[in-house]
Structure 1
Amino acid sequence: MTSTEARLKERVKELTCLYEVTSIIVNADYDDLKSSLDEIVLCLKRGWQFVEDTEVILAYDNFRVQTKDYKPSQVCLYTNIKVFDENSGYIKVTYPENKYQLSDFLKEEQDLLDNISLTIGHLFERKLVRDREAAIKRQMERADRLHILGEITAGIAHELNTPLANILGFAELLQEAIKDKDALRDIEKIMENAIFSREIVKKLMFFACEMPQEMVEIDLIPLAENALKLLQPSFRNKNIRLKKLFSHDSIKMKADTVQLTQVLFNLIMNAIYYSPVEGVIQVDIKKSAKGIQIKIADQGDGIEEKNEDKVFEPFFTTKPMGEGSGLGLSVVHGIISSHQGTIGHEPNKPKGTIFRVDFPNSQAC
């Protein structure tokens, strides 16, 4: 075969490789990118001059795919994968160092590798955009649901307040008028249950942001320290280790003291409940140019994907019957919203959940 024919054959292989890779990318399943990357790596192996000795590795974020006999210490062509103009991964095409030198690679092969890394970078960019759009859509849908639930809840709470007040009032009148001990015990049960129901209504009003607030300047660090001190018995019961990270000795903000204490109690109690025995809970409070952030991390089993959008909905709970009303996190959400803040959750590593509360600079003092 003449050198012209050999060069032409190599150009055909390179163009075929580029076409195949482009076709794979166009038809890629964003939910199963690893399969597409496996195919791309095999296409790259076939596109090089010495196919039988060519090995390929492609790495990006959590993805790492390579041909069967790839070894790190070999002669290689290298190119970065850029995603939104940042080096986020790489591709290496290698030959065995005992048989080849860097000069055995063709200039056109480096150009091919650069073009393919560019198209792969565009693939990851489209995936990131798609994932962000899906996340924003989920957040908007959740916000809409919570807004509707808030309106319904506020209406229910207002409707229940009057009959509950009447039940308590008439029960107190009966208590004064009746002398029979058995009847009095029954009346006490009526009053206890009415008071319990009133507390649930109060929590519903917290969720709906209907409770009056007394906004004053508070120091967040002593507030958190007091909450943690009161919860020490719960930490000891499960032998849980507490890790505190405070960016400043004093972090001041405008808030309702009672409501913010309730937020800290609910989030820390939740972390204790789901933490394993001898686990670690981390409470991280920091003030920055962006505002004030509170993070509470546990090492429990984490939140299942199917429940991620439900955790702040009233009456939703994963606790066994009788151990939770499902109002704790919905109350926390309502209080934080009324303070112009936001709350979210993310996985803890290697396992567990992090609840993140952000207050804007307008709340900081």
Structure 2
Amino acid sequence: NNNAVSILLVSPLYISGKDAEEILPDALLNLISGLGDGKGIIEKEIDCVLSDGRSIPLEVSAAELKDEKEDFLGHIILFKDLSEVRSLRREVARSQRLASLGNLAAGVAHEIRNPLSSIKGFAVYFRERQEKEDDKQIAGIMIQEVDRLNRVVSQLVELARPVSVSKKPVSLSTVVENSLKLIERDASEKKIEIKKIFAQKELEILLDTDRISQVLLNLYLNAIDSMENGGTLTVELLEEEGGAIIKVSDTGAGIDEKDLLHVFDPYFTTKRTGTGLGLAIVHNIIEAHDGKITVASRAGEGAVFTVFLSGTGRE
């Protein structure tokens, strides 16, 4: 079956004459081994680890195959790749969380910003009237913390609102170059090398420059944060049918496999001081561009964020 060999990443020539134990992933073998316990048909969703190390979800129906004398002939297994289904489920769940977040954000923004404005006003007032340097520093810290809270509220509101974009044909390499200039100092201080691999052909893409710059800056800063002892930040531009691809990779700590499905969820973060809103906003911006963003990583092996932007040429 062509679909089966495609899903399981095996060659039709390789499987000819082979036993099931030599072909099927362990998860499928464990499933059909339970058929010997008198179970007629087993129907189950399982996760299978393939030969390339990837894990994919499968919907499986398995049964013993017998002849008219009830003598055992073998097994028949029907399975379907549920990767797209699971992806859709996650997107629906994410949309539902964002809808709830929108209702919360509207109230929080109003109730928090007004008192924050008063607190900041008094802090500025006291700082300007203090003679002792220590007292001025304390007032300054208060102002910084109020500004930080205001930024969190702004992120919360931005995440809850539909993202508006104004697309224009722009040189993608120019956008990337300009955004990299913003983090050169941070990278240098942490002994991080910036490596650029650009497509030979100039890629002109319909995009919102400010929004995509916001996306790239977020990805760069996350990469820099993950490389505490220096490393390499690599940015690649690739031509793709119907658009272009930007890859941002690092040689940092990487992301645990169990966390990969949640990196774009609101409030999910592994940082001690992170809000968990940055990548959620990034995801929304790319969606507003009719694009797609994915992440691949293993703990200790760095991370690769891949952004696909559609829309070449003119508006």
Q: Common fold, TM-score beyond 0.5?
A: yes
Residue 225 in 1 paired to residue 203 in 2?
no
SS at match of 1:297: strand
Q: How many Å separate the matches in 1 of 2:288 and 2:88? A: 22
SS at match of 1:62: coil
Q: CA deviation at 1:158?
A: 4.4
Residue 266 in 1 paired to residue 218 in 2?
yes
Q: How does 1:79-118 map to 2 (within 5 A)?
A: none
Q: CA deviation at 1:135?
A: 3.8
Aligned to 1:355: 305
Aligned to 1:327: 277
Asked if structure 1 preserves the Cα contact closer than 8 Å seen for 2:205 and 2:243, the reply is: no
Greater percentage in helix? 1
Q: Tell me which amino acid in the other structure corresponds to 1:33.
A: L
Q: CA deviation at 1:169?
A: 4.9
Change (3 A) 1:143 1:353: farther
From 130, 138, 141, the equivalent of 2:93 is 141
Change (3 A) 1:303 1:291: same
Aligned to 1:314: 266
Residue 62 in 1 paired to residue 51 in 2?
yes
Q: Tell me which amino acid in the other structure corresponds to 2:158.
A: F
Asked if structure 2 preserves the Cα contact closer than 8 Å seen for 1:239 and 1:279, the reply is: yes
Identity of aligned residues (%): 31
Asked if structure 1 preserves the Cα contact closer than 8 Å seen for 2:246 and 2:308, the reply is: yes
From 139, 147, 157, the equivalent of 1:195 is 147
Q: CA deviation at 1:180?
A: 5.0
Q: Which segments of 5 or more consecutive residues in structure 1 lack a partner in the other structure? A: 1-20, 39-59, 64-114
From 28, 34, 46, the equivalent of 1:33 is 28
Give aligned pairs, total. 259
Deviations 1:49-69 (A, max 9, x none): xxxxxxxxxxx9618xxxxxx
* Larger-gyration structure (1/2): 1
Aligned to 1:345: 295
Aligned to 1:208: 160
Deviations 1:309-341 (A, max 9, x none): 32223333212x34x333322232233334343
Q: How many Å separate the matches in 2 of 1:351 and 1:146? A: 31
Q: How many Å separate the matches in 2 of 1:255 and 1:30? A: 43
Q: Which segments of 5 or more consecutive residues in structure 2 lack a partner in the other structure? A: 1-18, 34-48, 53-72
Q: Tell me which amino acid in the other structure corresponds to 2:256.
A: E
SS at match of 1:295: strand
Q: CA deviation at 1:364?
A: 6.7
Q: CA deviation at 1:216?
A: 4.6
Change (3 A) 1:337 1:232: same
Change (3 A) 1:307 1:349: closer
Q: CA deviation at 1:284?
A: 1.9
Asked if structure 2 preserves the Cα contact closer than 8 Å seen for 1:206 and 1:331, the reply is: yes
Aligned to 1:336: 286
Aligned to 2:6: none
Change (3 A) 1:192 1:281: closer
From 236, 240, 246, the equivalent of 1:284 is 236
Give RMSD over aligned pairs.
4.2
SS at match of 2:284: helix
Q: CA deviation at 1:139?
A: 3.8
Residue 251 in 1 paired to residue 251 in 2?
no
Change (3 A) 1:30 1:62: closer
Change (3 A) 1:206 1:220: farther
SS at match of 2:269: coil
SS at match of 1:293: strand
Asked if structure 2 preserves the Cα contact closer than 8 Å seen for 1:282 and 1:298, the reply is: yes
SS at match of 1:308: helix
Q: TM-score if structure 1 supplies the norm length?
A: 0.55
Aligned to 2:109: 157
Change (3 A) 1:31 1:209: farther
